[in-house]
Amino acid sequence: MNPVKVLFFATLRHQAGVRSTEIEIPEGITVRQLKERLVERFPGLDWQVMDHCLASVNQEYCADEDIIPPGAEVAFFPPVSGG
Amino acid sequence: MELTREEILRYSRHLLIPEVGLNGQRKLKESSVLVIGTGGLGSPVSLYLAAAGVGRIGLVDYDVVDSTNLQRQVVHGTSTVGKLKVESARARLLDLNPMIQVDVYNVPFTSANALEIAAPYDVIVDGTDNFPTRYLSNDVAVFLGKPNVYGSIFRFDGQASVFYAQKGPCYRCLFPEPPPPGLVPTCAEGGVLGILPGTIGTIQATEALKLLLGIGDTLIGRLLLYNALDMSFDFVNLRKNPKCRVCGPEADIKELIDYEEFCGVPGHDHESGSAGADWDISAPELAARLQSANPPLLLDVREPHELQISWLPGALNIPLGMLAARLSELDSAREMVVLCKAGTRSARALELLVSAGFRRVKNLKGGINAWAREVDQNLPVY
């Protein structure tokens, strides 16, 4: 298993009820698969928001199909539109 | 372009910085910036760029100043409530610095006029309040080969970056598709800390100035994420998306599209307050129905803290975000009127109720604000 640290930003923080969490994931899973696991673990998380948010792995932008490396810090940022 | 004696005195503090100096200040005088939107972000952006001596500033907006703007839109004032935003802003900018030129475009920024409006400017600043216009300003910047200084805000969170397809990613590299309509609340629905656009807007102004002067490291290839409550600044390194449809090697979008259709929402952050004529009930109609023998149930889908501002007696409060999980508390046989602040969230709640099988539901058109205007003037409008 691969421990990763997850950070939630903006509305995701309210939905999850926490700013960050540690989660054990099997090696080789993708960002999208991690999103799915997080929605199972935090029922307040809205899948549609997770599906459309920006994700970073170790402060680098990542796509849904990217594999998460061991020990990574993964952050999720929902889109905002106000001005 | 030479500086006059008055300009040399005015810009003295810039001339003392080696990175700006006389040559930099001349550059600024020859430069031009288009600011799209004269709202929360456009206010500090245009004020500071005017003060800094950017020779020509273009302002695009078609709205008028209203009093709910003044909590954050500091380029306007109480004396300009009801006036065109571009005229209100132009007067303030020229008062701050009469040595610059301010061009105003009192029109919606659309696919029909955007390229023509933006073409003469060196830098575009995205100070819009909605997704369609954000995608439009991004694509305009990509097609014209100009940098687009991006900023976006909600409640306590802000984002900023510089999207410049020639040197880095564009907005679409990050967000290829807009979120589904209604998923991301607007500031009119969810509110925003008044100072937040000041923080993000001054960062946008700083980036615009650096681009014009060619100094420093800009936010090209980086996204800044700011949270005012934590006072945290996080950065994400961005990369060009090889599959980007406007700036990637196999880009297939070569001209501007219909952005309202693409995003499924209108290109402005104004609440229509309607769920469609068949589903709406006006405030006076509701007042009459509440006097009848079989009054409908009132379902208020606002957040609990909003009830402290105004409320209707007897209304059941289930915030929109919890409605799906609490449908079992509602009797689908009973007639029901759904309400919120201005009718936007209640229209969304109505969609949810109808798709769950509720049929005897209506939307209070214009929300409790319409009730406060048309039925009970003792209630405040917010």
User: pLDDT, tens digit, for every residue of B212-224?
Assistant: 999 999 999 999 9
B264-291 average pLDDT score: 89
Same domain, B252 and B309: no
Q: Decide: B269 and B187 in contact? Cβ < 8 Å.
A: yes
B340 in active site: yes
Number of domains forming the structure of chain B? 2
Letter for the amino acid at A6? V
CA B331 to chain centre: 38
Same domain, B232 and B360: no
Cβ of B236 and A59 within 8 Å? yes
- pLDDT tens digit string along B55-84? 999 999 999 999 999 999 999 999 999 999
How far apart, in Å, are the Cα atoms of B291 and each of B213, B285, B287, B370? Answer: 67, 10, 7, 18
Q: Decide: B102 and B59 in contact? Cβ < 8 Å.
A: yes
- Nearest to B159, CA basis, from A19, A23, A73, A83: A83
Q: Is B21 part of any domain? A: no
B187 in active site: yes
A10 pLDDT tier (thresholds 50, 70, 90) = confident
Question: Which alpha helices (H) appear in chain B, and where do they start and end?
Answer: 5-10, 12-15, 21-30, 42-52, 85-96, 114-118, 131-144, 171-174, 187-190, 196-213, 259-263, 283-291, 320-323, 344-355, 367-374
Q: Which residues of B touch A45 (CB under 8 A)?
A: none
- Characterize B129-160 residue by residue with b for buried, 16 or more Cβ atoms within 10 angstroms of its Cβ, and e for exposed: bbbbbbbbbbbbbbbeebbbbbbbbbbbbbbb
Q: Is B381 part of any domain? A: no
pLDDT of residue B271 exceeding 80: no
Chain A to chain B, count of Cβ pairs less than 8 Å apart?
96
pLDDT, position B186: 86
pLDDT of residue B270 exceeding 80: no
Task: Provide the domain limits for residue B321.
Answer: 280-374
The CATH superfamily holding the domain A2-77 is: Beta-grasp domain (3.10.20.30)
Cβ of B61 under 8 Å from any chain A Cβ? Answer: no
Q: Kindly state the percentage of chain B with pLDDT values over 70.
A: 100
A11 pLDDT tier (thresholds 50, 70, 90) = confident
Cα separation, B221 vs A73, in Å, equals 20
pLDDT of residue B118 exceeding 80: yes
Q: Kindly state the percentage of chain B with pLDDT values over 90.
A: 92
Same domain, B116 and B249: yes
Q: What ipTM was estimated for this complex? A: 0.93
pLDDT, position B273: 84
Contacts of A37 (CB under 8 A, 6+ apart): A23, A25, A29
> In degrees rounded to 5, what are phi and psi of residue B6?
-65, -40
B69: closest chain A residue by CA:
A83
What is the Cα Rg of chain A in Å? 12
pLDDT, position B298: 98
Catalytic residue, from B170, B173, B187, B247: name it: B187
